[in-house]
Amino acid sequence: MSAPSGTFQERVDKALGNAQLKVALERTTGNARRKRAAAVEAWPDFVAARAAAAAIKDHSIAHMAYYLEMFERNALASGAQVHWARDPDEACKIVVDICKAANARTVTRSKSMLGEEIGLPHALAGAGIRRVETDLAEHIIQLAGETPSHIIWPAAHRTREDVAKLFDEHHREKPTAHDVVSMVGSARKELREDFFAADVGISGANFLCADTGAICTITNEGNAELTTTPPRVHIVTAGIEKIVASTEHALQLTRLLVRSATGADLTQYTTFHCGPKRPGDLDGPDQFHIVLVDHGRTEMLTEMPEMLRCLRCGACLNHCVVYRAIGGHAYGGAYPGPMGSVLTPVFDGLEQTRDLPNACTLNGQCRQVCPVDIPLPTMLRHWREQSWRAGYEPKTLRAAIRLWAFFAARPRLYQLAQAVALPAMRLFAKGGWISSLPLASGWTAARDLPKPPGESFLTSIRKGGTP
């Protein structure tokens, strides 16, 4: 598995030059946008519901210690073992140690973004443990040796033609045809044996329910239950912000999460897992471990508590014009798109990731579609300000912005410069578009600029004309 390499700029250039990526992204995110819009339209008070969902999450964040203690108490009473990890290294060590203690040779895993965040696939590989991804998209990218490019559709960057090639090459029994249904059938056959050969099953959690000590998974394939039920050991890895007060709150949030993610009323399988096998049970794991991970979340309680509301629905990715152009790998972290550009600087440091908050048009779409009303544009602006104050921007950029500020603070000079620049820019236009412009190759290399009008907005207003 190879993580995206190069600088942000290099990854973006590579993505923008990949026409097939654009096709794949538009097919997946376009479908997602249409389905979400239909689901939201059928809920007339959706705006009020968003506010109510935000309040539910804010409630559990406000009383996080109280609810985490309650969750731990109830989970322990169910026979679960609860582990705490400050950072990814601690979390991975706990998981690997449990696997080693169980003499695990093969682990199955159902999709968990927290697992990606903490680098669990690498840790398992490092310990010589065979990992089988069971979610279809994760299976696809495992075969391709890639990381996820979307938090709901990890293989959003892959077209059906790509998938056909991968399955033909890797599946023991090749797909009978290359339509989507036949390929899904091929993956079903391929993974069936692994579900039962695994010693350990690893899942994430969409919610941690304080009132019962259960963790909730939401999936549509059924792979989570086949991952967590047959093996001897079930390990859950979850961020501490997944805590909610009750089963009722979890279900209420699920209504918005699923509509925002896939447009369904409820995903096929909403499952609560509470402890290991009970007396009389014919199936279920002998051991049930829950690894609760901080990794910057306690700092976010002070710095950006609203971000802890995030349900990981992916709606902000599907509606982001930047994500739709460059895809997930260009972002370089586990979480792409607007939510990723807010989270990655928390996890990896702002100095290394300062490009991400800048890769945003601030058009506000992400906030508009967020089911828990996270002010993502405000947070991205916050990171930009922090980056500027800390001096992380390159000298050339700082000089250019200072130059622009010099003109912007002097309106007459600004207008004079504009009066010179606009006609000059028009000289470079062909057929209404500028495809090459001195000093602006960074822009024109991947897209064209519209030919500007002959005069500025202000000038034409002053003349009494229509701009």
Partner 1 sequence: MSARNDIFAAIRKARPEVAAPTSIASEAQACSQAMKRTLPPLDASDLVGLFTARVSAEKVGATVERVARLTDLPGAVARYVATNALAPDFALQPDPRLQQLAWQDAPGAELRPGAPLRRDTALAVGLALGGIAETGSLIFHSGAEAPTLYGFLPLHHLVALDAQTLMPLLEDYAVFASGLPVPRNVNLVTGASGTTDIEGVLARGAHGPGNLHIVIFN
Tokens 């897992």 sit on residue: 273
397 binds partner 1 (CB under 8 A): no
What tokens appear for 192 in the block? 């069936």
53 binds partner 1 (CB under 8 A): yes
230 binds partner 1 (CB under 8 A): yes
Considering beta carbons, is residue 329 or 354 the nearer one to partner 1?
329
Q: How far is CA 104 from CA 83, 110, 130, 214, in A?
A: 19, 17, 9, 24
In the chain, the amino acid numbered 268 is Q
Angle at 305 between CA 304 and CA 307, to 5 degrees: 75
What tokens appear for 233 in the block? 């050991």
56 binds partner 1 (CB under 8 A): yes
Q: Which of 3, 127, 266, 437 binds partner 1 (CB under 8 A)?
A: 266
Question: In a 3-state reduction of DSSP, which class is residue 385?
Answer: helix
Q: Which of 11, 36, 242, 249 binds partner 1 (CB under 8 A)?
A: 249
Minimum Å gap between C-beta 343 and partner 1 is 18
Considering beta carbons, is residue 98 or 191 the nearer one to partner 1?
191
Total Cβ atoms within 10 A of residue 264:
13
Crossing angle between the packed helical segments 247-261 and 19-41, to the nearest 10 degrees: 130
What distance, in Å, lies between the first and last C-alpha atoms of the chain? 54
Considering beta carbons, is residue 12 or 243 the nearer one to partner 1?
243
13 binds partner 1 (CB under 8 A): no
Residue 387, H or E segment? helix 376-390
The most distant pair of C-alpha atoms in the chain lies apart, rounded to whole Å, by 86
Considering beta carbons, is residue 58 or 448 the nearer one to partner 1?
58
Considering beta carbons, is residue 65 or 427 the nearer one to partner 1?
65
Q: Which of 107, 132, 163, 370 binds partner 1 (CB under 8 A)?
A: 163
Restricted to residues 273-332, the positions that interact with partner 1 (CB under 8 A) are 273-278, 280-284, 292, 294, 298-299, 301-302
Considering beta carbons, is residue 66 or 443 the nearer one to partner 1?
66
- Tell me, residue by residue from 131 to 150, as one string, x for binding to partner 1 by CB under 8 A and - for no binding: ---xxxx--x----------
Q: Which of 112, 186, 267, 341 binds partner 1 (CB under 8 A)?
A: 267
Angle at 317 between CA 315 and CA 318, to 5 degrees: 65
159 binds partner 1 (CB under 8 A): yes
463 binds partner 1 (CB under 8 A): no
Question: In a 3-state reduction of DSSP, which class is residue 226?
Answer: helix
CA 324 to chain centre: 13
2 binds partner 1 (CB under 8 A): no
Considering beta carbons, is residue 134 or 365 the nearer one to partner 1?
134
